[in-house]
Copies of this chain bind each other. A is one copy, B any other.
């Protein structure tokens, strides 16, 4: 049993805390995930942390023990610490029992699972909560991945990982330029369905989503740029019956992903 770390100045604690900043994540190739539920989700998906920090001094918890054992088996580092130190690492008042630092995986377009019939893509996504929620929508609707086009928010930020509720470990996230993405779409015969408030766009419930389809979502403020709109096979809008002209991008992505699912795998 290793000693319990009680100091915020401990080198590993400081290293973990630094991963809240993107430049340190990139430099280390590591990102933070927190909470028993998400870390167990990762474990079930075959992922163990490089470093696991867990709260000591409480009664034994079989699920924490399972994480500790799996991390050690995979050659990871395990550290016991205090709730105060855990709170310092995550920046939350109510710290989780466990925090893990995981290797960032940044696969290419080939990692997208087109055989599922549907994937999502988002252009210059700004909000990490929206990114995490879109990953959760991919997981729920059985979509084979999320493409982040151009300069989107970092999928490995603490906020995005938190909002994904573990989907960061199970849904492929691919970063690509618009041009590279469009070339791949054409080469693979992907049907591109863009969400755009433009003339000629059709009600999303009347559009077709042949497999494989990619649902393309625009930036929160500006929507999709013209070259991407021009490349779409179909443009869709979501009916808005109230005063607002559009839903939040994560809500729109959820509706469209489930619409594609409905067509590709109708309820029986």
Q: List residues of chain A with CB under 8 Å of any chain B CB.
A: 41, 44-45, 129, 133, 136-142, 165-167, 170-171, 203, 205-206, 238-244, 247-248, 250-251, 254-255, 258, 261-262, 267
6 further interface pairs, Cβ-Cβ under 8 Å (given A141-B241, A254-B255): A136-B247, A136-B251, A142-B242, A166-B244, A205-B262, A255-B258
Chain B residues with CB under 8 A of A247: 136-137, 140, 254
Q: Measured between C-beta atoms, what is the minimum distance from A115 to chain B in Å?
A: 13
The verdict on A241 contacting B142 (CB below 8 Å), with A206-B267, A251-B250, A254-B254 known, is yes
- Contacts A251-B250, A255-B254; is A244 near B136 (CB within 8 Å)? yes
Contacts of A137 in B (CB 8 A): 247, 251
A212 to chain B, nearest CB (A): 15
A136 CB contacts on chain B under 8 angstroms: 244, 247-248, 251
Write out the residue numbers on chain B whose beta carbons fall within 8 Å of the beta carbon of A239. 140, 261, 267
Q: Which 3 A-B pairs have the closest CB atoms?
A: A142-B241, A139-B242, A205-B267
Q: Which residues of B contact A44 (CB under 8 A)?
A: 243
Which listed residue (B141, B242, B267) contacts A140, Cβ 8 A?
B242
How long is the Cα–Cα vector from A203 to B206 in the complex, in angstroms? 21
Partner of A242, one of B170, B240, B241, B250: B170
Residue A244 contacts which of B140, B238, B255 (CB distance < 8 angstroms)? B140
Residue of B nearest to A163 (CB): B248
What residues on B are CB-neighbors of A165 within 8 Å? 244, 248
> Which residue on B lies nearest to A206, using beta carbons?
B267
Closest CB of chain B to A44's CB: distance in Å? 7
Whose C-beta in chain B lies nearest to the C-beta of A253?
B251
Give every chain B residue within 8 A of A243 (Cβ-Cβ).
Answer: 41, 44-45, 139, 166-167, 170
Give the residues in chain B near A258, CB-CB below 8 Å.
238, 255
Taken together as a complex, chains A and B put the C-alpha atoms of A241 and B142 apart, in Å, by 5
Interface-centre pick from A41, A203, A205, A242 (highest chain B CB count, 10 A): A242
CB-defined A-B contacts under 8 Å, sample of 23 = A41-B243, A41-B244, A45-B243, A129-B129, A133-B248, A133-B251, A139-B240, A139-B243, A140-B242, A140-B244, A140-B247, A142-B241, A142-B242, A165-B248, A167-B244, A203-B267, A205-B267, A239-B267, A241-B261, A251-B254, A254-B254, A254-B255, A255-B258
